[in-house]
Amino acid sequence: MVQTLPAPAALRPGVLRIIPLGGIGEIGRNMTVFEIDGKILIVDCGVLFPEEHHPGIDVILPDFGYLRTRLNDIIGIVLTHGHEDHIGGVPYLLRLKADIPLIGSTLTLALVEAKLKEHRIAPYSMTVKEGDRQKLAGFDLEFVAVNHSIPDALAVIMRTKGGSVLHTGDFKMDQLPLDGRLTDLRGFARIGEEGLDLFMCDSTNADVPGFTPLEKEIGPVIDNIIARTPKRVIVASFSSHVHRVQQVIDAAANNGRRVALVGRSMVRNMQIAEDLGYLKVPDGVMIDLKKAPTVPDNQIVYMCTGSQGEPMAVLARMANLDHEIELGDGDTVLLASSLIPGNENAVYRVIDKLTKLGAKVVHKGNAKVHVSGHAAAGELLYCYNILQPKNVMPVHGEYRHLIANADLAKQTGVPAERVLITEDGWVIDLENHVAKVVGAVECGMLYVDGKTIGTITEEDLQDRRILSEEGFISIYVVIDPETGKVVVGPEIRARAFAEEDHVFDNVKPLIEKALAAAAHEGVRDTYALQQVIRRTIGTWVAKAHRRRPMIIPVVVSK
């Protein structure tokens, strides 16, 4: 949806304003701002992982621009669960103001605190659990247990003068969860009976019919794969997927194998989960990576990161023969995760390389080795019928997911005009039980590139894409400042365009002719002459080679 909206009017007293700064129309960087009577509450602050058209970018953050002048008004950040797309941006926001309170469950806060320690930030944390209520300024918060692919996930209901809002975070309704912690449908029903003004609902699987399969169905599959593998087993998953790691540990123990964790984030997160009791490790099963080579190949399982084909993650390094673990015949690699949209090409490249090395690769496309952590259409319909919300705002998903979620809401009787399909930066006001779009604030992408944050622009990325896809041509010319005639050159050099310099022999006379014509017209300004060169060689390259390289002309007056 491409639509230009005006800036919103000043917020009136008693009206609840909602501004998504990320997570709308994308899978990642989830962040929503809630404001009433001058105070701001934030729900989640995650990152989006770059795709191929983001060369050189480490992660992408929500746009903090709207908050930079309002930092003292922020009363807290509620974190629904510990996945990177919900907590990964917290260190960058706390760089702006380190004492903003963080509110979340035990595991969620432990994971984010470990990240903050690396950034040398000591946060102010407030631990909550399901059933707890907290009052912060104009927000009366209640936390509700929800089931997800990581333990300790929470939905949050906020009651304000402007109305009540239920934000699910990520959730599903697994009826036989591995940790026995169900989504609290009784709590949802109570909220529905009380009257819910706005339902902000996870949309990731809204276009998937039926119900999400049970997490427990994956365990026997993993066990069978490990049992049938003659040599080493390498399992790749998200570094925070505690449930999946638990299943791998259990299957390894059943088959007399040891488990070694590979990857800094995997080791850190699982140590936290074990210390807090969320991960149960039988005695003698876990082994340090340094000691793993002493274990026979048929008695070891490596648990690593890289299931999304990330180039610097462990699995990609194994595939590129850039890791101490060298794979070969008899080894099995198990990708225990679903594909995040946009990562397909990277993942299949890694699969091809692993296969070429001789390893057998098992993934969701050829075996049931992963189930989603998000509610499918049948579960969402159930929620709509229980809650009977007056207004609905689908969140957490690409555009097709938002539309599918909106259609489900309408099918259950929510009036079409009360179902809001929004975009990042749009401003929604909730007043008198009615939510409506009232404008938009500036909201873009905040790129992290090494140590720089927010200095890389879309234009910079476009230049990088041109360099990687179309090549680079530089032209050096020295002119006589009196006559404008060429004294030296044109000297042409290219990278990632042509191997032989003689390719440019045909264009050099064209450049000299264009410069002579400019000189005849009295043009002496070096910048203007550079533009003449750029147009001339750009036109020639497009016609002769059907390419659009980056062209850097240098004109020296001497």
pLDDT at residue 1, as a whole number: 44
3-state secondary structure of 427: strand
Q: What is the β-pairing status of strands 426-431 and 391-395?
A: unpaired
Contacts of 456 (CB under 8 A, 6+ apart): 56, 57, 447, 449
**Between 442 and 492, where is the model more confident?**
442
> What is the mean predicted confidence (pLDDT) over 502-522?
76
Place of tokens 């997911």: 401
CATH superfamily placement of domain 215-361: Metallo-hydrolase/oxidoreductase (3.40.50.10710)
Contacts of 483 (CB under 8 A, 6+ apart): 519
Cα separation, 222 vs 334, in Å, equals: 8
Query: What percent of the chain lies above the pLDDT cut of 90?
Result: 62
Out of 48-57, 115-124, 142-151, 277-286, least confident range: 48-57
> What is the mean predicted confidence (pLDDT) over 53-61?
64
337-356: b or e for each residue (b if 16 or more CB lie within 10 Å)? Answer: bbbbebbeebbeebbebbee
Candidates 351, 347, 307, 301; CA nearest to 325 is: 301
Tell me: pLDDT of 522 over 80. no
Tell me: pLDDT of 366 over 60. yes
Contacts of 18 (CB under 8 A, 6+ apart): 32, 33, 34, 35, 165, 198, 200, 393, 427, 428, 429, 430, 435
Query: What percent of the chain lies above the pLDDT cut of 70?
Result: 89
Whether 172 contacts 379, CB under 8 Å: yes
Sheet of 125-127, strand order: 125-127, 102-104, 74-78, 39-43, 31-36, 16-22, 426-431, 434-440
Cα separation, 145 vs 175, in Å, equals: 13
Residue type, 384: Y
Task: Return the CATH class of domain 459-557.
Answer: alpha beta
Residue type, 459: E
pLDDT tens, residue by residue, 450-489: 566 655 666 655 555 555 556 677 787 787 777 767 777 7
3-state secondary structure of 26: strand
Whether 22 contacts 31, CB under 8 Å: yes
Whether 360 contacts 327, CB under 8 Å: no
Whether 304 contacts 235, CB under 8 Å: yes
Distance of CA 435 to the CA centre of its chain: 28
Q: What is the β-pairing status of strands 300-304 and 258-262?
A: parallel
Whether 130 contacts 80, CB under 8 Å: no
Could you give the angle at the alpha carbon of 29 between the alpha carbons of 103 and 376, nearest 5°?
90
Binned at pLDDT 50, 70 and 90, residue 537 comes out as confident
**pTM to 2 decimal places:** 0.81
pLDDT at residue 118, as a whole number: 87
Give me the CATH topology for the region 16-210+373-451.
Metallo-beta-lactamase; Chain A (3.60.15)
The residue ranges of every structural domain in the chain are: 16-210+373-451, 215-361, 459-557
pLDDT tens, residue by residue, 186-216: 999 999 999 999 999 999 999 999 999 999 9
pLDDT tens, residue by residue, 292-346: 999 999 999 999 887 776 766 788 888 888 888 889 899 999 988 776 666 677 7
